[in-house]
Amino acid sequence: MPSKKQKRKNPKALPTVFLAVLCAVMVCSVAFVLILSTGKIEGTTPVPTVTSEATTEAVPQGPYKVSTVTVGSAGDVLLHIPILNSHKKSDGTYNFDRIFTYISSQIKDCDYFVANLETTLAGTENGRKYTGFPCFNSPDAILSSLKKAGVDCLLTANNHTYDTGAHGVKRTLEKVKESGFDSVGTRQAEADKKYLVKEVKGIKLGIACYTYETENANGKALNGILVGKETAKLINSFDYTKIGSFYEEIGTDLTNMKAEGAEVTVVYLHWGNEYQLTPDSHQKEIAQKLCDMGVDVIVGGHPHVVQPVDLITSSDGAHKTVCVYSVGNMVSNQRRNLMGLKTGHTEDGLIFKVTLSKYSDGTVTVDKVKSVPTWVHLYSGTYNIVPLKKDLSSAAADLGLTKSGTGLSLAEGSYKRTMELVKEGTSKCNKYLSSLPKPDEASAAY
């Protein structure tokens, strides 16, 4: 049996071992360097050279697209009494979610979506009741349904803004803000901004909203109701007979928007004549003036029917404005059998989409527009906003159109009516927009 002393290693042998290991490392290092520099070792099969993907990727030599944003707009949210009754639950509360079952995907397809809240939310305190036409007061629950559907911003200036007086103006805006919406059209204080500058995916939108006033010798009136002097200061409105004052006001808004970095300007206008399928002289005059002032997009409402899309050229030929004169109703109970206009146009609406792009050099362009016709399908007390397309037969069941015997045929008729109004103008806009050179087209790297 060997002794412990015999089993111990000889300390003097360590330097020899260390030198041997060092030599081996040096040989491997030389071989590794040879592989990296020549791709082969003498006497062996060459190792293929590997080129990093990063070294072959093209580096943009000029401006390149950094963001794309689609802004969507819809028309009037008019909650007539039959709609309230249809969405009242047994416990007395309200839920309007099912109205938006089929349209929500179109709304959420947009990066930012705007709708017109054409009612007040004055509550039921002090014996106040929920009401429909002619003076609207709706349950707050409509806000949660609009939010779930994907709406981001609500317009609060229209001819029904003062239907429940100063209290209604104030409470409506408070509830809109509490529910997480952006809003434009009314203010909580006179010193608040009349407009909104909103950044969406790196693009700053400048948004304004104004409504026409009812003629009244004693001051501002909406829906035939004289507005209190203090409240009048909180509502963005214009008088057709004093239109110069409006141009000065909106001009100040545009200047301030751009000072805050707005790169695209969108003006929402409550204007025109109800149930008229074409814009009147006031609409055309105002649209031309706003184009001359450099507004990029105009979206109109109030007629309760869809009106044409157009591309307006400024008087000096230097600027063009995309304009839809009216996007009609988003939801209402204005059924053809109840209206003087028996054509069904009051059942129709439009989702108007504008797609913008931003480039690395800071340029922002309007790239294209899209008109999506909508129709309010009413069956068994249920109201559904339905997005329409040319061939609906294959999608009829998915859109709930088979839930009524006439759903599909009425929807097809609605699509035809709306497209007759907007197809030509939408095509005109897109033909022009697609012809414009884009900042990245000069660079083959993008």
Residue 441 pLDDT grade (very low, low, confident, very high; cuts 50, 70, 90): confident
Residue 206 predicted with pLDDT over 80: yes
Tell me what pLDDT residue 57 has: 58
Q: Given pLDDT bands bounded at 50, 70 and 90, which one contains residue 215?
A: confident
pLDDT at residue 58, rounded to an integer = 59
Strands 364-379 and 382-387: antiparallel
CB 365 within 8 A of CB 438: yes
Residue 194 pLDDT: 98
In whole angstroms, give the CA distance from residue 213 to residue 241.
10
For residues 353-360, give the mean pLDDT. Answer: 98
User: What's the confidence (pLDDT) of residue 440?
Assistant: 87
| Spatial contact of 264 and 296, defined as CB atoms under 8 Å apart | yes
Q: How confident is the model at residue 411 (pLDDT cuts 50, 70, 90)?
A: very high
Q: Give the span between the Cα atoms of 313 and 358, in whole angstroms.
A: 23
Return the amino acid letter for 329.
Answer: N
Confidence of residue 12 (pLDDT cuts 50, 70, 90): very low
Domains of the chain: 69-442 (3.60.21.10)
Q: Per mean pLDDT, which range of 3-17, 127-141, 320-334 is the poorest? A: 3-17
What is the per-residue pLDDT for 439? 92
**pLDDT more than 90, % of the chain:** 83
Which two structure tokens, joined as six digits, stand for 193?
A: 């901004």
The predicted pLDDT at position 25 comes to: 38
What's the confidence (pLDDT) of residue 104?
98
Which of residues 17 and 291 earns the better pLDDT score? Answer: 291
Q: Rounded to whole angstroms, how far apart are CA atoms 241 and 404?
A: 47
Which residue reads 């996007």 in tokens? 327
Give me the pLDDT at residue 62, please.
81
Mean pLDDT, the chain, rounded, equals 89
In the prediction, which pLDDT does 4 show? Answer: 35
pLDDT at 418 over 70: yes
Residue type, 104: S
Q: How far apart are CA 369 and CA 436, in angstroms?
A: 14
pLDDT digits (tens, 9 = 90+) for 222-277: 999 999 999 999 999 999 999 999 999 999 999 999 999 999 999 999 999 999 99
* pLDDT digit string, tens, across residues 20-54: 433 343 433 433 333 333 333 333 344 444 444 44
pLDDT over 70, % of the chain: 85
Between CA 108 and CA 152 the distance in angstroms is: 10
Model pLDDT for residues 156-167, shown as the tens digit of each residue: 999 999 999 999
Give the tens place of pLDDT for each residue, 358-405.
999 999 999 999 999 999 999 999 999 999 999 999 999 999 999 999
Three-state DSSP at 239 gives: coil
- What are 329's two structure tokens? 């109703």
pLDDT, tens digit (0-9, with 9 covering 90-100), for 187-198? 999 999 999 999
Q: Strand locations in 294-347, DSSP E?
A: 297-301, 306-313, 320-327, 329-331
